[in-house]
Amino acid sequence: MSDKFEKIYIHPSQFPDQVYQDYLASFSAQQINHKFHYDSVKQSQKWLKIHETFSPARQDQSCIDAYAKCFQKTAEVLADDNLSLNLIGLGSGGGEKDKLLVSHLSQTNKALTYYPVDVSSSLSIISAQKVREAFPEVDVQPIVCDLLHSDDLILLIDEPEKQLKNIITFFGMIPNFAPDEILPILSNFLGKGDLLLFSANLAPGADYLQGIKKVFPQYDNELTKEWLITILLDAGVEREDGTIKFTIEDDGHKQHFNRIAAYFELAKDVSFKLEGELIEWKSGDKVRLFFSYRYTTAMIQALLSTYGINVLDYWEAANQEEGIYLCQKV
Ligand SMILES: C[S@@+](CC[C@H](N)C(=O)[O-])C[C@H]1O[C@@H](n2cnc3c(N)ncnc32)[C@H](O)[C@@H]1O
């Protein structure tokens, strides 16, 4: 087979039947599953632009340094054994952070396989190509999957007969899932001795809610609205049918985590057909398009510990808007 082909594994969680059911459920429950904001090439390009513009990991040198320190420490921790490495990038996005991590891991002179795992085929291929171009010696295998429906993924990747150490990255992912939904899945993914590198968007400063208000403009802006409305326009909803509004809300969790959420508030009754299904929305309905949790480092440590995950070390950007955590299952 020509090496011009990109070989990409598609997990059953992203087979068309499952994707279509999730798509319908998003519209009928008026709660858009985040995965549909990254689906098309158009959406992933819009998201990459937002990421480039607003992400501290792209714009703030102290945040970039915090990632580099975490990656250096990871390479030091790994120096002591002679196992080959599997780097599994869960929700790899554009692959920039994983690529920087690979540059540190390559100093350990260990055989390395990189699995960029993303719900978007476009983004998993972008991550794969970025790492392959910079590090041709690394084996790269992109995987498309929906983490919420892929409990068996680690079993499919793991090769127990080989002596391997898994390094799992979960960068910028925790904000877009309810913690009690995603953390059991992540915990299940981790074996003893594996390393988890995890990053979270934080609420800066001593006052949690004030901190969230400070970062609110990073969400409530035209670029983000244009990205979030794409799924509605593609389904046949018109711009004039409503307005996107952002808010800060308590998620109802016993620890009162807050998140920034975006809703499309209907200005009129709207009905449209998705294949055979009739979707009917009423004037005044609020269709949830998106949410992004903000935490503090203390909250992250407590939350991870309830799932048996220990934070070995952590680094924060100078403005405290992002934290990077080096973790291991207890
Ligand atoms: C906020 S981005 C983070 C990307 C990257 N890790 C970073 O830090 O720059 C979220 C990523 O998760 C992916 N994603 C969203 N929902 C997912 C799901 N259910 N399963 C797997 N990936 C998902 C998106 O396609 C996107 O690449």
- 2.40.10.10, 2.60.40.10, 3.40.50.150, 2.70.70.10: CATH of 56-202+295-329: 3.40.50.150
> b or e along 146-179 (b: 16 or more beta carbons within 10 Å of the residue's beta carbon)?
bbbebeebbeebeeeeeebbbbbbbbbbbbbbeb
Query: 229: part of which helix (H) or strand (E)?
Result: helix 222-235
The per-residue DSSP string of 37-103 comes to GSSSHHHHHHHHHHHHHH-HHHH-HHHHHHHHHHHHHHHHHHTTS--EEEEEEET-TT-HHHHHHHH
Q: How far is the CA of 91 from the centre of ligand 1 (A)?
A: 4
pLDDT, residue 230, reads: 96
What pLDDT shows up at residue 175? 96
Atom in ligand 1 nearest the alpha carbon of residue 123: 27
Q: What is the mean pLDDT of each run of 10 residues along the chain (330 residues)?
A: 88 95 96 93 90 83 95 93 92 96 93 96 95 96 96 86 89 95 94 94 96 96 96 95 97 88 98 91 98 97 96 96 95
pTM score over 0.85: yes
What per-residue confidence (pLDDT) applies to 46?
92
Pocket of ligand 1, beta carbon within 6 A = 34-35, 38, 51, 91-94, 97, 118-120, 123, 146-148, 171-173
CA distance 57 to 67: 8
> How much is the pLDDT for 193?
87
Other C-beta atoms closer than 10 Å to the C-beta of 18 total 14
State the distance from the centre of ligand 1 to the C-alpha of 264, rounded, in angstroms: 22
* Domain spans, the chain: 56-202+295-329, 208-294
pLDDT at position 254: 78
Q: Using the 8-state DSSP alphabet, how is residue 321 labeled? A: S
SS (H, E, C) 263-312: EEEECCCEEEEECCEEEEECCCCEEEEEEEEEECHHHHHHHHHCCCEEEE
